[in-house]
Structure 1
Amino acid sequence: MIQRVALVAVLVVMAIAAPSDPYGAPHGYNQLMPYQFSYGVKDDYAGTDFGQTEESDGKAVKGSYTVQLPDGRKQTVNYVADHYNGFQADVSYYGEAQYPHQYGPPVTFRPIYKPQPSYH
């Protein structure tokens, strides 16, 4: 009988001590912290040109990113996001879209090596 009472007491203490949300974030982790980052990639040989900048004060996020589109234009997106107004973006384009009248031959995959049979 004493063993049963002790077991129930241990189970009650464990239930009280257990966190209410075991999968939630650790204490103090939900606080948002200010941050700032940026990156950019520009490769004239491959035609790659894109980048992003973003900063946050812990309550709102604002930033912009740019990307070179296949038609020759550059797209810039400036955005602001917070918990009250949501995500708001302003999209703009720079340059004139270019559409060629003739296209070159299709690009085909050519292996660098020729596979050799393993039997003779």
Structure 2
Amino acid sequence: MHGGAVLALLVLAVVSVSGQEGFGHHHHLEEYVDYRARPHYHYDYHVHDHHTHDIKNQWEHRDGKETKGVYTLLQPDGRKRIVEYRAGKHGADYKIRYEGHSVHGGIGSFGIGN
């Protein structure tokens, strides 16, 4: 009789758990995504690591079909590269310029990071 009581409690526990799930019917919440909504975002980031000489940053903004942004990075030759860009329904346009002077041997020639 003792074994029958344990079995009965086990069956009752299984039925109870099954009842919490709606007797096998799983209910999923659907997330509504409006694919026609106008895209809009802005982000920026900065990296400044003196040990690896990884120095760069970027920002970008999008509103509808227009995206614009700027990114800069310190090149191995010591110059800073600056790229400004704009993209839209008529294509993309990039303007690249440099600041500073190129140094023969790059950053490593100064003994930086050694």
Q: How far apart are 1:46 and its partner, in Å? A: 1.6
**Stretches (4+) displaced over 6 A:** none
Q: Report the AA paired with residue 104 of structure 2.
A: Y
Partner of 1:4: none
Q: Mapping of 1:1-120 within 5 angstroms?
A: 28-84=34-90, 86-100=91-105
TM-score, L = length of structure 2: 0.60
Displacement of 1:45 in angstroms is 1.9
For residues 57 and 36 of structure 1, the distance between their equivalents in structure 2, rounded to whole angstroms, comes to 9
Report percent identity of matched pairs: 33
Counterparts of 1:43 and 1:90 in 2: how far apart (Å)?
Answer: 26
Structure with more contact order per residue of length (Cα contacts < 8 Å, sep ≥ 6): 2
Q: In the TM superposition, what whole-angstrom CA distance separates every residue of 1:15-42 from its partner, at most 9, and x where no partner exists? A: xxxxxxxxxxx97314332110000100
Paired residues in the alignment total: 76
RMSD over equivalenced CA pairs, Å: 2.1
Residue segments in structure 2 that go unaligned for 5+ positions in a row: 1-31, 110-114
1:48 Cα deviation from its structure 2 partner: 1.0
Letter in 2 for 1:87: A
